Amino acid sequence: MRRLRQLAALLGLLLLMSVTATAEPAAKALWTLMVYLDADNDLERPMMQNLADMARVGSSATVNLIVLAARNAQGDGLYTNAPVLNIPNWTNAKLLQVQQGKLIELDDWGALDMGDPSTLGRFLTRVTSDFPAERYGVIFGDHGMAWAGLAVAESNDSDSLGIGEVGSMLKGVTKTAGRFELIGFDACVMANLEVARTLAPFARYMVASEEIEPSAGWDYAAVLSAVERSPQMDGAALGRVIVDTYRDSFAKSAHHERQQKAKALTLSVIDLDKVASIDKATAALGSGAHALLTRGGHDAWIHLAHARNDAEEYGRTAAPGS
């Protein structure tokens, strides 16, 4: 009897080893889109509407849509204590899988700081590990401050992510996940050389605005519908969809106020592989201006001042106070 029990145990172990050896790895989606939605500030109301709009389409077999969403405790005006679809109001940061018509809570991360780079790193690492895909995209929804950063967490003394901190977190994650296909900023004034230069090693394309964005943000339902129809699209195509649907949501709106805002939209798709050439040209411009001022005296200063005055300028009212 003892030998029979030993034999049965051995057969069971061999069966378990066989099952383990032949187990299939998790199937890869074509896209995993990650949204870092820092609504712990006075953009909470429009960003919760963005989240609800995402659920008009949601995830599918080919597209994963995962959101880290933090909210603010205030409840009136630009803030809100309203539920979002099937989830009551929350103030912690929740990791959510967006499905059509509902949100699936994957985890509650507690009262953390969305302006802390470790929060971003934890989010990117978790999602790229749990939701493997052929292409990864990350979208930041919040206030933007150009080279100074983004993601203002009011509950943590208005802490924010510096662009260097974002780059550091992406550097760590892309060592394992590979270079991202797209980085998007649904935030103000993020389309500048300093941001693009910092992020170029970690993604192929960047979507960002030179000017201040209206608080309503992107048309997420239209973007996700397009990805669901053509999930094989690359970052350039997805970027164009984001830009075109954003423009149309204002320009083709039935509301006059939204139509007027369309005149100041500057959202663009940037090929990050070309940033090195722009950086080189910018350095040459600086060297040329320095040489002109050195040899040209007073007249050169006046000439350069006029040129600077005539140049286009964006986001002046969004410049950080520091």
Q: What is the mean pLDDT of residues 243-269?
A: 92
What would the pLDDT profile of 149-174 be if each residue is shown by its tens digit? 999 999 899 999 999 999 999 999 99
Q: Is residue 23 part of a domain?
A: no
Do 231 and 258 fall within a single domain? yes
Same domain? For 231 and 305 the reply is no
User: With bands split at pLDDT 50, 70 and 90, how would you rate the model's confidence at 15?
Assistant: very low
Residue corresponding to tokens 């970690």: 202
Q: Are residues 51 and 172 in the same domain?
A: yes
Largest CA distance in the chain: 105
Could you read off the pLDDT of 19-66 as tens digits, one per residue?
333 334 457 899 999 999 999 999 999 999 999 999 999 999 999 999
pLDDT band at 296 (very low <50, low <70, confident <90, very high): confident
Q: What pLDDT score was predicted for residue 220? A: 98
Is residue 173 exposed (0-12), middle (13-18) or buried (19+ Cβ within 10 Å)? buried
Residue 91 sits at φ, ψ, to 5 deg, of -120, -15
- Phi, psi dihedral angles at 138 (to 5 degrees): -125, 135
Residue 203: what residue type? A
Residue 12: what pLDDT? 54
Same structural domain, 152 and 251: yes
Calpha distance 315→213 (Å, rounded): 9
Domain membership of residue 4 (yes or no) is no
Residues 198 and 111 in one domain: yes
Q: Which of 10-14, 115-119, 150-154, 230-234 has the lowest mean pLDDT?
A: 10-14
Closest-CA residue to 184 (of 236, 225, 134, 256): 236
d(CA 9, CA 2) in angstroms, rounded, equals: 11
pLDDT of residue 75: 77
* Of residues 114, 39, 99, 30, the one with CA closest to residue 65: 99
Structure tokens at 72: 């603010």
**What average pLDDT score do residues 187-215 get?**
95
Look at residue 309 and give its three-state secondary structure: helix
- pTM equals 0.87
Report the domain count for the chain.
2
Q: Which residues contact 295 (CB under 8 A, 6 or more apart)?
A: none
Query: 311 is in which domain, residue-wise?
Result: 279-316
Q: What does the alpha-carbon distance between residue 40 and residue 70 come to, in Å, rounded to a whole number?
A: 6
Residue 70 lies in a domain: yes
